[in-house]
């Protein structure tokens, strides 16, 4: 099936630092979604993007739908301890009726 390349795989940062992660694909997506998953929980939707070039914020989180429709990034500003978790990008292919494709996740670890 389709693959989303998500990077970095993990990040070790200090509290207060900004974080940036991204997803790329060789295919065109018509929707990009960013989820966060805490240990023992299901993924929680953070931001949904529906148009190329769209830039959307949710508090300290900002995500953009790449102009080529093949990539997206998520930024977290001024990280805090509760930001720890695994962040997943997900996309729906153009014309696709086969569900969301997920990246492998970025594991965010915040060092005190």
Binding site for another protein (CB under 8 A): 1, 30-31, 33, 40-45, 48, 50, 88, 90, 92, 96-105
Cα separation, 94 vs 59, in Å, equals 29
Quote the CA–CA distance of 94 and 46 in Å, as a whole number.
Answer: 22
Residue 50 beta carbon to another protein: minimum distance, rounded to whole angstroms: 7
Instruction: Report the residue number, 81 or 95, with the smaller CB distance to another protein.
Output: 95
Choice between 40 and 81, CB closer to another protein: 40
Beta strands at 10-14 and 106-111: parallel, antiparallel or unpaired: parallel
User: Residue 11 CB, nearest distance to another protein (Å)?
Assistant: 17
- Of the candidates 80, 41, 37, the one whose C-alpha atom is nearest the C-alpha of residue 61 is 80
């Amino acid at each position: 099936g389709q693959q989303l390349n998500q990077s970095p795989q993990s990040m070790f940062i200090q509290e207060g630092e900004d974080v940036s992660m991204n997803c790329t694909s060789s295919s065109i997506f018509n929707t990009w979604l960013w989820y966060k998953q805490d240990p023992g929980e299901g993924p929680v939707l953070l931001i949904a993007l529906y148009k190329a070039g769209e830039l959307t914020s949710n508090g300290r989180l900002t995500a953009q739908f790449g102009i080529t429709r093949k990539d997206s990034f998520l930024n977290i500003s001024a990280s805090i301890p509760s930001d720890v978790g695994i962040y997943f990008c997900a996309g729906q292919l153009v014309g696709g009726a086969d569900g969301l494709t997920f990246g492998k996740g970025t594991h965010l670890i915040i060092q005190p």
